[in-house]
Chains A and B, each alone.
Chain A
Amino acid sequence: MKMIRLLLVVWCTFTLFAVVGASGQTMKPVDKCLSCHTDIGSDEATAYMTDIHYKAGVTCADCHGGDPTVEDQDAAMNPKKGYVGVPKPSSIPEMCGKCHGSEKSTFKTAYHLDDVMDEFLASVHGRALSQSSKGPTCISCHGIHNILDINSVKSPVYPTNVTKTCAKCHSDPDYMKKFNPGLPVDQYEKYLTSVHGKLNKAGDPKPATCVSCHSNHLIRSVKDPRSPVYPMNIPRTCAKCHSDKSYMAQYNIPTNQYADYKQSVHGIALLQNSDLSAPACNSCHGNHGAVPPGASSVASVCGTCHQANSDLFDKSVHRAAFAKSNLPGCVVCHSNHLVRQPSDTMIGFGPESVCGKCHKDVPTDSAASSILAIQATLDSLTVGRTDAESLLGHAEQLGMDVSDASYSLKDVNQSLVESRVQVHSFNASLVKSAAEPGLKIVGNAQVSALGEIKEYYFRREGLGVATLIITALAVLLFLKIKQIERRSEK
């Protein structure tokens, strides 16, 4: 029996050594800091017992310095032994960075820790900390002595808690004024009204939180082209979740928005032409308060940029008709994410027309005549301009100066743009009024081109007559010279 007990003790001892060895740790002596501070009832010491670092074997001295092996307070908290006490805010990232930084350490290897210190220092928060000791540090988000695993539902950085954690500072105007007075402080309030916020509040950790879009440690300014929320990066940032079929499966919404958007006139302008004024997802859906615009508010949303079109639509017959049928305004003709470059072929009853979706080219459809009249006006302007350009080009090829008329054609574009905008009034006479100045310019340019072509032929005919007269004179003169020379020879 004794033999069995002895073998059991030996086996347990080896097992213990093996477990400790595998985790890369060495047996540490008793942490006198923790034992003393627990004895005197320190809240920090008590809290630390629940901290993820405590569980991993990180001692008080690993952060605060000093000698944890001695009981004597003066000896243990001797600055000569590296005791720093409560670290200054500016030195906290460096302190955490001993394990969470770029330098290799036993802990870093054992726990596969990322280099978050350098990311933090490069972020807007790191810059704020370098400017003021009141700036955010690691502990602002993660806590101090009770830091929990980020996957713990109680962790302040767990998805359902992180927005509240960010709001501690970002909803405090007095605090934010010290760093960025221009930054709004209503993001959290807006977030709670968003689809993301509502689901998050209901306990769903999947919808986007602050860090989903802004990143966590490496948060950059929205004006920084490297930021995931820089206008040109927003569609891709949203698409991380919204284009992921399996991730979005439970929400029962499409996942083709990004693919459509990339092909749209807006997507091409923003992503291909780098036009920062072009709308990204947040321009229509909102950013922190993101929601899909309802059918009744689509025209207002589009109208933030396309104001003239929106105003005309509001006064048109379609406004009430669409509302009655709960049709989403602009989207009915232009689509939502896949907004194509509009063209005149959208008007009328052709294969690409959008009017034909609801109307028919029959006498019983009262709108048909208006549709055809609008189409005719736009066609007369575009075709007239093409004809004028062709005539002017011909005159120019003949060597005539038509620069004034060619220059005047530039104003046709303005008239054409105004006419196309007036299409949203769905009133043929208004479209014609807008096209009238352009039609006049086109007419004048055509007259001018024809005049120059006529002048060209007139010049040649004139030259022909002048050449004939001069040649006749030359021949007569030649004969006269011959006559004189013959006489003088005689």
Chain B
Amino acid sequence: MDKTSKVFRWIDKRYDLGIVEHFAKEKRVPQFKGSFWYYFGGVSLFLFIVQVVTGILLLMYYQPGAQSAYESVRFIVTKVQFGWLIRSIHSWSANLMILSVVIHMFSVYFTKAFRTPRELTWYSGFILLALTLTFGFSGYLLPWNTLSYFATKVGTEIVGVVPIIGKPIMELLRNGSDVTTATLTRFFGLHVAVLPALFTVILGAHLLFIQVQGISEPESWKDLPESKKKHIPFFPNFVLRDILLWLIVLNVLAILAVFFPWELGHKADPFASAPMGIKPEWYFLFMFQSLKFFPAKLAMIDGEVFGISLFGIAGLLWFLVPLWDSKTSKGKRNKIINYVGIGVVLYIIILTVIGAR
């Protein structure tokens, strides 16, 4: 008996690892042409772990406050050993995580994995996406540089446009009527305490739903006999493939962090005018660009209010896709879902490209 088996037996005697052993042996993952997309869930999880680890390391030196935030980040990237690497990996990983979560969401959408009985997995996943974007938005302000200050100002201003509830939400976010050091401490609290706690709980639920229900099989398998369906064991095959991809992502992260270190920029000056052509981060760019195309007035309604309301409704419809996909329960093919999905992907890509120019 080797050492690993000895340790396993020792724990098994005390805690009965039979359930885990059974789960690991029995759990299988469908293997088909599009199964590559399954790995983006794992990549998102890996990047979240990277975020947590690098975030904790940054927290050891970061000091929130108008007079200390920028200076402490500067200290991290210039004086702390490997501080530049940790900060750069944290920033790059945040962006890659958003990208990975978005890809994961669209892969689930196009493979119709949101259909019964996996509605709750979809809802929890959507909430995780919203939380990831909030992570990005709140973390962006923390270095307290010119770009982050004005991006937060513009971003929270857009929220304030929404009738009735907009202004109270804006003031709640800003912790006052303007973006100040109070906003910074509020965002810091959100970023390092509230969001991680919420995210961990919902992520736990999301993973639990997947483990309980198993990984969704493709729609094309519905009419296939069991003998024609190909699976691979979750452990070790799928897990090892996951780890292989994680290693590749880690390599990409390291290269990005070293060759394209995340800039710190200039310290925010609330009394200065906003820099010309200020833009939000790339993941909000399509919405920002869309709002620019709306006319000032649309049938007596303010163009910006109309646009934001439209995005709100679109987001809600996307969230509720398991409900309005009428053929879900009947297990029929629904081409409209695909057309809507392709339309949304094209819209986001085109508007992002236009906005980035």
Contact = CB atoms under 8 A, between A and B. Distances in A.
A102 interface: no
Interface string B238-255: 001101100110110011
Interface stretch (B216-224, B229-237, B290-298): B229-237
B251 A478 contact: no
A470 B247 CA distance: 6
Given A399-B261, A485-B232, A467 B255 contact: yes
B78 interface: yes
B237 A459 contact: no
B11 interface: no
B254 A463 contact: yes
Interface string A368-406: 000000000000000000000000000000010100100
A1 interface: no
Given A399-B261, A401-B77, A485-B232, A480 B240 contact: yes
A315 B169 CA distance: 73
A464 B276 CA distance: 38
Contacts of B248: 474
Contacts of A459: 85, 258
A401 B84 CA distance: 10
B166 to A, nearest CB: 39
Given A467-B251, A477-B240, A401 B258 contact: no
A471 B251 contact: yes
A456 to B, nearest CB: 10
Interface residues of A, number: 20
Interface string A451-490: 0000000011011001100110110011011001100100
B179 to A, nearest CB: 25
Contacts of A478: 244
B258 A477 contact: no
Interface in B237-281: 237, 240-241, 243-244, 247-248, 250-251, 254-255, 258, 261, 264
Contacts of B264: 401
A453 to B, nearest CB: 15
Contacts of B261: 399
Contacts of B244: 474, 477-478, 481
B251 A484 contact: no
A466 B248 CA distance: 12
Interface string B165-196: 00000000000000000000000000000000
Contacts of A460: 258
Given A401-B77, A460-B258, A470-B254, A484 B236 contact: yes
Nearest to A399: B261
Nearest to A471: B251
A401 B258 CA distance: 13
A290 to B, nearest CB: 48
A478 B251 CA distance: 15
Contacts of B247: 470, 473-474, 477
Contact of A488 (B237, B241, B258): B237
Contacts of A484: 236-237, 240
A158 B236 CA distance: 115
A481 B237 CA distance: 6
Nearest to A468: B251
A488 B233 contact: yes
A174 B251 CA distance: 90
A467 B254 contact: yes
A470 B243 CA distance: 11
A404 B240 contact: no
A477 B254 contact: no
Given A401-B78, A474-B247, A488-B233, A481 B255 contact: no
Contacts of A404: 78
Contacts of B251: 467, 470-471, 474
A474 B243 CA distance: 8
A396 B237 CA distance: 46
A485 B31 CA distance: 13
A401 to B, nearest CB: 5
Contacts of B258: 459-460, 462-463
Interface string B71-90: 00010011000001100000
A460 B85 CA distance: 12
B78 A485 contact: no
A404 to B, nearest CB: 7
Contacts of B77: 401
A477 B232 contact: no
A471 B254 CA distance: 12
Interface string A433-462: 000000000000000000000000001101
Interface in A256-288: none
Nearest to A477: B244
Nearest to A459: B258
A209 B250 CA distance: 87
A484 B244 CA distance: 14
Contacts of A466: 254
A193 to B, nearest CB: 54
A399 B85 CA distance: 13
A258 B233 CA distance: 96
A405 B240 CA distance: 48
B255 A463 contact: yes
A39 to B, nearest CB: 83
A399 B260 CA distance: 8
Contacts of B250: 470
A408 to B, nearest CB: 14
B237 to A, nearest CB: 6
A484 B84 CA distance: 39
Interface in B55-76: 74
A398 to B, nearest CB: 10
Nearest to B247: A474
Listed from nearest, the 7 A-B pairs whose CB atoms lie closest are A474-B247, A463-B258, A477-B244, A470-B251, A481-B240, A401-B78, A470-B247
20 contacts: A401-B74, A401-B84, A462-B258, A463-B258, A466-B254, A467-B254, A470-B247, A471-B251, A473-B247, A474-B247, A474-B251, A477-B243, A477-B247, A481-B237, A481-B244, A484-B236, A484-B237, A484-B240, A485-B232, A488-B237
Given A466-B254, A470-B250, 10 more contacts: A399-B261, A463-B255, A467-B254, A474-B251, A478-B244, A484-B237, A484-B240, A485-B232, A485-B237, A488-B237
